[in-house]
Amino acid sequence: MPSAQLCLRTARGYLCSNSGQEKLLARSFSSTSRRHEINKVYPSAREAIADMKPNSTLLCGGFGLCGVPDTLINEVHAQEHLTGLIVVSNNAGTDNSGLGKLLQSKQIKKMIASYIGENKTFERMYLTGEIELELSPQGTLAERCASGGKGIPAFYTPAALGTVVQTGELPLRNNPDGTPKEYSYPKDVKVFDGKQYLLEESIKGDYALVKAWKADKLGNCQFRLAANNFNGAMARNARMTIVEAEEIVELGAIAPEAVHLPGIYVKRVIKSTTEKEIEKFTFAKGEEDIDVKAALGSGETAAKRERIVRRAAKEFKNGMYANLGIGMPMLAPSFVGPEVEVQLQSENGILGLGPYPVKGKEDADLINAGKETVTLKAGAAVFGSEESFGMIRSGRIDLTILGAMQVSDSGDLANWMLPGKIKGFGGAMDLVSNPEKTKVVVTMEHTDKKGNAKIVKQCEFPLTGKACVSMIITELGVFEVDFATGLTLTEIADGVTVEEIKSKTEAPFKVANDLKPML
């Protein structure tokens, strides 16, 4: 056997010879054309999903109808043998589009989602036991997918503490008559730095269906505007990630710093052949004029809502970062003066949200959390849903304004479910998860349509968050909430008496010594 010294001398001689250098260089893939032979582009969606099996777990990007991989979904729909699917997505499209088609064809046996929304088929199938539903707070869902893609099996989050998500009282499946048949399981709770957090397990996916703006032959992808949403998190967390791209480009056409999804996560790429859809067309009357009056309604209802919205607008302070719920909260910026500059965040991945677009200038890749068409302000940023909710949970949002069905005297909030109806959590549980840093303001009418009090001793409806609301604004007045001592009426509307407010409020409250006029 040759000695070690002889081997070293031989290697040195080999390296010093020209032929040896050429042979070594030939082993460097970057110096040859071999790398350019890698091509992940498939000729069709049918071929890209040809090996998909029934009962697979399918991760699907998109938010509303924005960034939805419709070409791939349509092909799954066409393959009738693909049944028993477990589908993970923020929502399930509409009744006749996106994942709604797979619900209609009964190819999905279970959904893991944060929101049902206006999809009546989804709601009916869940309430009558035709489909299993694991509801997850939107930020938790994004992080469960993102963490799974990073090899992290579980994590702790402050979202949903004290709700049915924690206690295991969330129905996973119902009987045909709507009564619960099977419940979720209780979550482990642990204390970090004096605060409680829930343990959530990451999600593992067999296939991920993803929509991109541009993709190259190596699978590098670029997303456009708010179409990133859940696509990046889903793409990183599946054994087989399939991307449909609006444009398939040559290597180098996407600048390295513009690659949002590196090709290492992507196995297959196809050309998208489906037109993009918009769920809610929402327009301004002019370049800078939002049609607020129309959005408020008419008559007495409009007068009540305008009073609430005008008062809510006073909570904006210069330099704030704020997140606004759908409905009345979204109208509050219209009543803010030009001297106050606020950066609006939308949980589907926008910072620097602008007004509604003028008709004809809407963009399918630009929607807000309510699926409405919007614009961006100069200096705006867009990103994935997992990063958006990281901003929220960590307390970087100064203010959130939400609607409510009920608020208790200790600041508990219920705003996601009424008996016999269910919309889902959406992002609300995350938005109220850090009340120490994010001020939570509720805007709502003082009573429901039947005249029942909405400010109560204890919420009857399932909670969105415990001890999280700092202020309640109604058409009758403004309440400050102390989580320990309860409610204090600090402002009262013109023409309203304290006695009237007491008659319409179930929860006890104190009256401030310096009770001020509202507005």
Question: Over 91-148, what HEC string results?
Answer: CCCECCECCHHHHHCCCEEEEEECECCCCHHHHHHHHCCCCEEEECCHHHHHHHHHHH
**Phi, psi angle pair for 503, to nearest 5°:** -70, -20
Q: d(Cα 190, Cα 195) in Å, to the nearest integer? A: 8
Q: Taking a C-beta distance cutoff of 8 angstroms, is the pair 475, 304 a contact?
A: yes
Give the SS3 label for residue 321: strand
> Residue 213's closest CA among 252, 255, 254?
254
As annotated, the active-site residues are 347
Please spell the DSSP secondary structure of 193-237, one letter per residue. TTEEEEEEEPP--SEEEEEEEEEETT--EE--GGG-TTHHHHHTS
Q: Taking a C-beta distance cutoff of 8 angstroms, is the pair 121, 127 a contact?
A: no
Q: Which two tokens stand for residue 118?
A: 């206006």
Q: d(Cα 466, Cα 330) in Å, to the nearest integer? A: 24
Q: Which two tokens stand for residue 31?
A: 């110096």
Give the SS3 label for residue 248: strand
Q: Read off the amino acid at residue 380.
A: A
Place of tokens 């919420």: 459
